[in-house]
């Protein structure tokens, strides 16, 4: 211990550099962090909470800090530089996003509704022959970084290289999913470590583990975009977006008032009632720290139908007039700003965003606890993607089956169709991206298309199709399709048949009796984009708002399929070995014994014995002889005439035994 505190002399070091200029560096070369939380009531009495943290690091070439970071996580920047990542997305999801109830036509559902388990894709800036090696190393690094079994994506059977089906023009891209990965706090803690404030202060304090894992949907995502290696990029940087999306069921305060009333009224909620915690203040390192409450288009349309023009004004202008109450609902705090969606069409009902800035006015003693209280019962429907997608397995048994992909029109009302849809040709483009593991042997020629329950020729529907068939134990099959449906479509279905392959005994996953998973298919609508423009040009570049203003494609993930497989008895190899060996050994032993048998000698021996033990041994030897199928030689004591007699006796006995056997077979067999 003494050595620990040993005095260390100050070495004389020449002051080579003058004190460098200290001061604010101009915008764009500074590292930046901002945090946002979006809350949104959902039509099925639930609340969506969406955390968005954004860290931006300027390029190591342009800024004065080089490789040394101040806010940006060191691990991520090292990851980007080591594997030369252009873009990467990793998501951990638990639960399934209900596109019909929680929305399918907004920025959150298109980028934060993820297939359950782990999904990872990455685009590398390396020569095409090195992409696989980079991917493998990346999976190992990520699995260490996030305490997850992402390293299972290393094997070439579990990842694929989509060409255009997953994202447009994706070169050097790899995509892999682990549908069965369980997500829990051990994945969240390393994710939080990447935030400068972790969950010590700021909005992330709300992430009370029991509350957020109790929810119906939980998706934790990390998106990385780097222009570090892009030589002609002017403003190169690494942008790290971390989002956590949870769907929670608020505890209804008004349950006691009366059942009929409470059933109609949407549950009211507050930050403390859904998370069990309040926001004690902002993360001091964040440039901006905002909480938003969004009321979507459907809800606004419904409210407009119920309330008059004057009351609607109160809803949308609540901040400017200083009142937080209107006829429909009540907010506990005064929003700092109200963003109204702007549209080129003259729609009156557009979504509204209330912004609450977590400023200095909140602290430990007076934390921010937003409360949203409904006053009138409202039932509304949320904007949906043009088609609702379900996928299921057809057929039974353990040999073959078929995958069916069903697309049902959600009948988009007129105002939901964006301008981007080409109206004159009146067709609906749908992109399908499906990865099938190699042990599901898909017969691509069996692809069938049904439109409005009528079989349809494939050539009329499929615009473009790319198939890379699976290779046994080497690579999965990838199907990328661009379909063109008529726009009056009610429903469409695609079926494709498959055989189930046989796996080697050590290729079965643990708990193989449960069945094997087919990863989610990705359905993209290339003509549809969601982009929300707000009337006020907000000066604060909040990550959520800038994300919403950018165009994001509409896509939906299907369910993960579970295919039951023939699973062998895993102790079978030893059983088989034991039983075959025993049979072979018996056969071999008896063969050897027969070979070295001395028949004459034995008979003589028996005769000698028969002389001694008269009656009993005679019978025994008779029986033995009969069993050997040879004619029994009567002993000398017997009369020679009995020879024919014994012959008939033998015949009789044989018939008797055969008859008994037949009877047994008839009655009991």
Partner 1 sequence: MAEISEPSNPPLAHSGLSDARLEQPAFDPNTMRKTKPGFKRLILTISVFSSFLLGLPFLWKSVEIYRAPLPFMDIDALSSQLESTPLQFPCSFRVIYVGFDSIAPRVSAEKLKSSILDEITELSSKSSLCGSCNNNYAVSVVIESGSDCSQTRTDASSCTWRCGALSASDFAVSLENGDDSADDFLEVALGGCSRSASGGRGYSVVVMNRDENVEVTIGKYRHAWIVGRISEMEAIPKIAEIFVKLFGNGGREEGLIPGEFMPVGADGKIFLSFNLLNADPDDWIYDWDFQTVDEVLLKPLIKELAPVANVSVESQVLYHTPTSSFSYWDDEQESYIFNTKDLPFFVNSNEWHLDTSIAAGGRSKILHFVIYIPSARECPLLLQLPDGHISETNGFISPMWGGVIVWNPKGCLDRKSKQHHRQMISYPELEKIVEVFLGQFRQLFGLKSDPQHVGLSGTFNILTSEKGFTKWEIDFLSRQHSCFNLHSCASSLGSLSRLVQSLPRMIILDEIGKQVKYSLKAANLAQRNASLGVFDAAAISSRQARSLAEDAFFHPSIMSVSYFSFEHCFAVYSPFFLPVALHVILAALREWKRYKQEHKKYLAFLAKPNQS
Minimum distance, C-beta of residue 498 to partner 1, in the bound complex (Å):
33
Choosing from 22, 234, 616, 639, the residue that interacts with partner 1 (CB under 8 A) is 22
Span of 234-242, 526-534, 576-584, 658-666 interacting with partner 1 by CB under 8 A: 576-584
Report how far apart, in Å, the C-alpha atoms of 198 and of each of 56, 201, 214, 220, 541 are: 16, 7, 21, 15, 22
Minimum distance, C-beta of residue 60 to partner 1, in the bound complex (Å):
10
Phi, psi at residue 350, to the nearest 5°? -130, 160
Q: Does 69 bind partner 1 (CB under 8 A)?
A: yes
How far is the C-alpha of 84 from the C-alpha of 231, rounded, in Å? 13
Q: Does 524 bind partner 1 (CB under 8 A)?
A: no
Question: 63, 110, 54, 161: which is closest to 542 by C-alpha?
Answer: 54
Choosing from 251, 443, 588, 652, the residue that interacts with partner 1 (CB under 8 A) is 588
Q: Does 612 bind partner 1 (CB under 8 A)?
A: no
Q: Does 589 bind partner 1 (CB under 8 A)?
A: yes
Span of 146-154, 311-319, 466-474, 581-589 interacting with partner 1 by CB under 8 A: 581-589
Degrees to nearest 5, angle at CA 487 with 482 and 491:
80
How far is the C-alpha of 66 from the C-alpha of 241, rounded, in Å? 21
Q: Does 3 bind partner 1 (CB under 8 A)?
A: yes
How far is the C-alpha of 238 from the C-alpha of 25, rounded, in Å? 18
What are the b/e assignments for 589-622, b being 16+ CB within 10 Å?
eeeeeeeeeeeeeeeeebeeebeeeeeebbeebb
Chain centroid offset of residue 395 CA: 24
Contact 489, 409 (CB under 8 A): yes
Q: Does 630 bind partner 1 (CB under 8 A)?
A: no
| Region 281-300 residues binding partner 1, contact defined as CB under 8 A | 281, 284-285
Dihedral of alpha carbons 627, 628, 634, 640, sign: positive
Q: Does 572 bind partner 1 (CB under 8 A)?
A: no
Minimum distance, C-beta of residue 159 to partner 1, in the bound complex (Å):
20
423 strand-pairing partners: none
Span of 34-42, 77-85, 338-346, 655-663 interacting with partner 1 by CB under 8 A: 77-85
Q: Does 585 bind partner 1 (CB under 8 A)?
A: yes
Question: 404, 405, 406, 431: which is closest to 163 by C-alpha?
Answer: 431
Give the residue with the Cβ less far from partner 1, 182 or 620: 620
Span of 152-160, 460-468, 505-513, 589-597 interacting with partner 1 by CB under 8 A: 589-597
Choosing from 62, 186, 200, 347, the residue that interacts with partner 1 (CB under 8 A) is 200
268 strand-pairing partners: none
Q: Does 8 bind partner 1 (CB under 8 A)?
A: yes
Phi, psi at residue 414, to the nearest 5°? -60, -40
Q: Does 66 bind partner 1 (CB under 8 A)?
A: yes
Chain centroid offset of residue 52 CA: 20
With CB under 8 A as the rule, give the number of residues binding partner 1: 68
Q: Does 407 bind partner 1 (CB under 8 A)?
A: no
Choosing from 9, 539, 571, 641, the residue that interacts with partner 1 (CB under 8 A) is 9
How far is the C-alpha of 193 from the C-alpha of 144, rounded, in Å? 13
For residue 235, the SS3 value is coil
Dihedral of alpha carbons 262, 263, 267, 273, sign: positive
Q: Does 81 bind partner 1 (CB under 8 A)?
A: yes
Choosing from 169, 595, 616, 627, the residue that interacts with partner 1 (CB under 8 A) is 595
Q: Does 510 bind partner 1 (CB under 8 A)?
A: no
Minimum distance, C-beta of residue 224 to partner 1, in the bound complex (Å):
13
How far is the C-alpha of 223 from the C-alpha of 550, rounded, in Å? 15
Report how far apart, in Å, the C-alpha atoms of 522 and of each of 162, 467, 558 are: 11, 15, 7
Give the residue with the Cβ less far from partner 1, 445 or 596: 596
Choosing from 29, 45, 59, 71, the residue that interacts with partner 1 (CB under 8 A) is 71
Q: Does 169 bind partner 1 (CB under 8 A)?
A: no
Q: Does 594 bind partner 1 (CB under 8 A)?
A: no
For residue 140, the number of C-alpha atoms closer than 13 Å in the C-beta half-sphere is: 9
Minimum distance, C-beta of residue 204 to partner 1, in the bound complex (Å):
11
Minimum distance, C-beta of residue 632 to partner 1, in the bound complex (Å):
16
Q: Does 11 bind partner 1 (CB under 8 A)?
A: yes
Minimum distance, C-beta of residue 359 to partner 1, in the bound complex (Å):
11
Chain residues in the site for partner 1 (CB under 8 A): 1-20, 22, 64-71, 73-75, 78-79, 81-82, 141, 145, 193, 196-198, 200-201, 281, 284-285, 574, 577-578, 580-582, 584-586, 588-589, 592-593, 595-596, 598, 600-602, 604-605
């Amino acid at each position: 211990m003494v050595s620990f505190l040993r005095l260390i002399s100050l070495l004389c070091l020449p002051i080579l550099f003058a004190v460098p200029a200290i001061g604010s560096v101009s915008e764009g070369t500074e590292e930046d962090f901002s945090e946002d939380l979006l809350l949104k009531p959902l039509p099925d009495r639930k609340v969506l909470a969406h955390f968005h943290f954004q860290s931006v690091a300027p390029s190591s070439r342009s800024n004065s800090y080089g490789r040394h970071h101040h806010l940006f996580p060191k691990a991520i920047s090292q990851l980007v530089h080591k594997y030369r990542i252009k873009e990467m997305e990793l998501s951990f999801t638990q639960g399934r996003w209900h596109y019909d109830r929680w929305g399918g036509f907004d920025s959150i559902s298109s980028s934060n509704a993820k297939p359950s388990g782990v999904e990872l894709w990455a685009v590398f800036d390396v020569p095409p022959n090195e992409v696989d090696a980079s991917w493998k190393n990346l999976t190992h690094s990520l699995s260490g970084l996030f305490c997850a079994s992402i390293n299972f994506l290393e094997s070439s059977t579990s990842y694929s290289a989509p060409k255009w089906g997953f994202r447009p023009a994706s070169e050097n891209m790899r995509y892999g999913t682990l549908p069965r990965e369980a997500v829990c706090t051990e994945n969240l803690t390393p994710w939080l470590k990447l935030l400068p404030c972790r969950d010590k202060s700021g909005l992330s304090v709300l992430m009370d583990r029991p509350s957020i894992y109790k929810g119906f949907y939980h998706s934790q995502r990390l998106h990385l975009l780097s222009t570090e290696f892009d030589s002609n990029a002017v403003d190169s940087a690494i942008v790290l977006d971390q989002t956590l999306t949870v769907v929670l069921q608020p505890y209804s305060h008004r349950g006691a008032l009366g059942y009929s009333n409470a059933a109609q009224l949407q549950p009211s909620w507050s930050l403390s009632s859904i998370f069990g915690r309040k926001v004690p203040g902002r993360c001091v390192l964040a440039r901006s720290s905002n909480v938003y409450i969004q009321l979507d288009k459907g809800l606004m349309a419904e409210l407009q139908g119920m309330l008059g023009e004057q009351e609607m004004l109160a809803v949308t202008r609540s901040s400017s007039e200083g009142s937080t109450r209107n006829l429909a609902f009540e907010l506990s705090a005064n929003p700092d700003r109200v963003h109204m969606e702007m549209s080129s069409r003259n729609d009156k009902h557009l979504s509204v965003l209330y912004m609450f800035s977590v400023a200095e006015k909140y602290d430990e003693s007076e934390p921010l606890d937003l409360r949203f209280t409904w006053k009138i019962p409202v039932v509304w429907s949320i904007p949906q993607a043009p088609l609702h997608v379900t996928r299921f397995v057809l057929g039974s048994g353990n040999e073959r089956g078929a995958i069916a992909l069903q697309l049902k029109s959600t009948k988009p009302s007129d105002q939901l169709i964006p301008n981007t849809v080409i109206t004159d040709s009146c067709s609906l483009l749908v992109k399908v991206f499906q990865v099938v593991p190699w042990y599901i042997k898909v017969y691509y020629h069996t692809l069938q298309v049904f439109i409005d329950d009528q079989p349809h020729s494939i050539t009329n529907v499929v615009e473009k199709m790319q198939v890379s068939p699976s290779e046994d134990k080497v690579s999965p099959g990838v199907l990328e399709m661009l379909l063109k449906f008529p726009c009056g479509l009610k429903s469409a279905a695609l079926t494709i048949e498959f055989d189930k392959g046989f796996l080697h005994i050590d290729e079965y996953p643990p708990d193989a009796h449960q069945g094997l998973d087919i990863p989610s298919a990705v359905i993209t609508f290339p003509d549809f984009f969601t982009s929300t423009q707000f009337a006020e040009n907000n000066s604060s570049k909040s990550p959520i708002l800038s994300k919403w203003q950018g165009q994001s494609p509409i896509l939906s993930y299907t369910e993960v399929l579970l295919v039951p497989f023939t699973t062998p008895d895993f102790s079978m190899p030893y059983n088989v070995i034991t039983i075959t060996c025993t049979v072979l050994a018996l056969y071999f032993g008896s063969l050897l014994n027969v070979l070295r048998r001395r028949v004459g000698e034995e008979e003589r021996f028996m005769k000698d014995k028969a002389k001694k033990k008269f009656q009993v041994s005679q019978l025994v030897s008779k029986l033995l002889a009969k069993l050997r199928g040879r004619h029994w030689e009567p002993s000398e004591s017997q009369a020679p005439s009995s020879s024919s007699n014994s012959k008939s006796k033998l015949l009789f006995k044989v018939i008797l035994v055969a008859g008994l056997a037949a009877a047994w077979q008839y009655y009991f067999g």
